Structure 1
Amino acid sequence: MPLYKNCRLRTGRFSQRGGIYLLTAVVKHRTPLFRDFELGRCVVREMMNAQRWNQAQSLAWVVMPDHLHWLMQLEDASLESLMRQVKSRSSKAINERCARTGQLWQAGFHDRALRQEEDLLASARYIVANPLRAGLVKRVGDYPLWDAIWLQGYQASSSTPRP
């Protein structure tokens, strides 16, 4: 018998202020919408809005063609409200931009709390290397939809816009 019912990935999810989490959200039917850079930027804007509104501090993230990985420190929000907002607002922006309607993201999201003793830099490297492992680029710096706080001010190439 499955542990999760009705597309909920986990019941009893705990949101700890100051906790560090790796969040993953997937596009419905794994449609690779974010191959379009501008649509991926809609998701990035909403993650940055969450930071501006003191809901989460982004540590590292990558927007892949059909999913998102986000390493963040939770501030003034719950995991559910944070992801609901990011997914809802990015869906609205993308639907308006593409003149489409309907659900963009799969229901729910996956979260993993990182313990203090875990190496955050290693987790961030794993996240930002995702496009390399997926065969989308030959160098991490060639993929445009990623960032990590350890690289603030770094620009992989002059043609790659950084958020």
Structure 2
Amino acid sequence: MPNYRRCRVSGGTYFFTVNLLERRLDLLVRHIDLLREAVRVTRCERPFRIDAWVVLPDHMHCVWTLPSGDNDFSNRWKAIKIRFVQKIPAVERRSQVRTNKGERAIWQRRFWEHSIRSEQDYAAHIDYCHWNPMKHGLVKRVADWPYSSFHRYVRHGLLPEDWAGNDQPDLACGERD
């Protein structure tokens, strides 16, 4: 197995992509309240700031900032994933390997993370989160997707409701899913 290393910055800001194992499923939006509860409980135990988040049917993107002196995003994701899985019915197909390990077949084992390095990098990844439902053809306007921090940005006057219109923003961060 390759030696996998993650970039860890104490108190850092990170962009994440987290995928379901079966990319054709809609578990994340079908069970959005369970996902939100898993995040809420995890944040109570191990705080982090949510800078942006979008939940799509089969994957999600988010930007988090960890507390000063803390770089442990992996165990936060582990807790969120476990809490979510424990609340949904066990009806998925499981490989013999996952069955032997006592694992559910809901999440991809790993997730993708990127350490935010500048204000421009931060803005590009926030935009990427908010634009993603349009990228996947789920909505015609960013404002029409209900599972996005975009609505918080609008409420706080940080973005107009018609942000991005029908033109994809310049996303320096590239493709993530």
Give 1:89 shift: 0.7
The AA in structure 2 aligned to 1:80 is: S
Identify the residue that residue 81 of structure 2 maps to in structure 1.
87
Find 1:150's aligned residue among 144, 148, 153.
153
Give 1:70 shift: 1.2
Unaligned runs of 5+ in 2: 93-103, 162-177
- Verify the 8 A CA contact 1:50 1:56 in the aligned structure 2: no
Distance 1:42 1:31, change over 3 A: farther
- Verify the 8 A CA contact 2:8 2:115 in the aligned structure 1: no
- Does 1:121 find its partner at 2:123? yes
Q: Distance in 2 between matches of 1:52 and 1:38?
A: 24
- Does 1:52 find its partner at 2:44? yes
- Does 1:100 find its partner at 2:91? yes
- Verify the 8 A CA contact 1:55 1:77 in the aligned structure 2: no
Query: Identity across aligned pairs (percent)?
Result: 26
TM-score, with structure 2 as normaliser: 0.69
- Verify the 8 A CA contact 2:38 2:80 in the aligned structure 1: yes
- Verify the 8 A CA contact 2:134 2:140 in the aligned structure 1: yes
Q: Distance in 2 between matches of 1:16 and 1:116?
A: 13
- Verify the 8 A CA contact 2:9 2:115 in the aligned structure 1: no
Q: Distance in 2 between matches of 1:142 and 1:19?
A: 31
Q: Distance in 2 between matches of 1:30 and 1:125?
A: 23
| SS across alignment from 2:22 | helix
Identify the residue that residue 174 of structure 2 maps to in structure 1.
none
The AA in structure 1 aligned to 2:56 is: M
Unaligned runs of 5+ in 1: 157-163
Q: Distance in 1 between matches of 2:9 and 2:47?
A: 12
Identify the residue that residue 20 of structure 1 maps to in structure 2.
13
Larger radius of gyration: 2
Give aligned pairs, total. Answer: 144
Give 1:54 shift: 4.2
Residues 64-123 of structure 1 deviation map (CA, whole Å, 9 limit, x = unaligned): 11111111112356121011011111111223xxx5363210111110001034342332
TM-score, with structure 1 as normaliser: 0.74
Give 1:138 shift: 0.7
Q: Distance in 2 between matches of 1:74 and 1:31?
A: 31
Q: Distance in 2 between matches of 1:16 and 1:55?
A: 16
Q: Distance in 2 between matches of 1:40 and 1:134?
A: 19
